[in-house]
Chain A
Amino acid sequence: MNNIIVYCEIEDGKVADVSLELLTKGRSLANELKCKLEALVIGSDLNGIEKTLYPFGVDTVFLANDTRLYPYVTAPHAAIMIGLFKEEKPQIALLGATSIGRDLGPKVSSALHSGLTADCTSLVIGDHYEKKTDTKYDQLLYQIRPAFGGNIIATIINPDCRPQMATVREGVMKKEIMDANYVGELKNIEVDKYLAPEHFAVKIIERHIEASKINMKGAPVVVAGGYGVGSKENFDLLYQLAEVLGGEVGASRAAVDAGLVEHDRQIGQTGLTVRPRLYIACGISGQIQHTAGMEESAMIISINNDVNAPINKIADYAIHGKVEDVIPKMIKHYKANTK
Chain B
Amino acid sequence: MKGLKIVVLAKQVPDTRNVGKDAMKADGTVNRAALAAIFNPEDLNALEQALRLKDKYEGSTVSILTMGPSRAAEIIREGMYRGADGGVLLTDRLFAGSDTLATSYAISQALKKMEADIIIAGRQAIDGDTAQVGPQVADKLGLTQITYAEEIIGIKENVITVKRRLERGVEVVEGPLPLVVTVNASAPECRSRNAKALLKFKHARTATELQDTSEDYIDIKNDRPELVIPEWSVVDVDADPKELGLSGSPTKVKKIENVVFTAKESKVLSDNDEDINELMRTLIESHTIG
B16–A148 touching, CB < 8 Å: yes
Binds B, one of A26-34, A196-204, A228-236: A196-204
What residue of chain B has the Cβ atom nearest to residue A117's Cβ? B251
B66 at the interface (CB under 8 A from A): no
A319–B269 touching, CB < 8 Å: yes
B101–A115 touching, CB < 8 Å: yes
A1 at the interface (CB under 8 A from B): no
A205-B173, A211-B168, A333-B273 in contact; A106/B17 too (CB < 8 A)? no
A106 proximity list for chain B (CB < 8 A) = 100, 130-136, 139
A154–B259 touching, CB < 8 Å: no
Q: A116-B251, A329-B271 are in contact. List 18 more A-B contacts (CB 8 A).
A: A106-B134, A115-B101, A115-B249, A116-B101, A149-B16, A154-B255, A156-B252, A157-B254, A205-B172, A270-B129, A277-B288, A312-B268, A313-B266, A317-B279, A318-B266, A319-B269, A320-B271, A333-B281
A107-B138, A151-B258 in contact; A208/B170 too (CB < 8 A)? yes
Interface of B is mostly: mixed
B161–A205 touching, CB < 8 Å: yes
A106-B136, A269-B129, A333-B277 in contact; A307/B268 too (CB < 8 A)? yes
CA distance A110 to B253 in the complex (A): 18
CA distance A116 to B248 in the complex (A): 13
B130–A118 touching, CB < 8 Å: yes
Other-chain contact of B173, A116, A142, A152, A203 (Cβ < 8 Å): A203
A41 to chain B, nearest CB (A): 20
B145 at the interface (CB under 8 A from A): yes
Other-chain contact of B253, A156, A246, A257, A287 (Cβ < 8 Å): A156
A206 proximity list for chain B (CB < 8 A) = 170-172
B282 to chain A, nearest CB (A): 9
B148 proximity list for chain A (CB < 8 A) = 99, 103
CA distance A221 to B284 in the complex (A): 13
State which residues 301-322 of A face B: CB under 8 Å.
301-302, 307, 310, 312-322
Contact with A along B164-208 (1 / 0, CB 8 A): 101111111111100000000110000000000000000000000
CA distance A289 to B16 in the complex (A): 9
Contact with A along B97-109 (1 / 0, CB 8 A): 0011100100000
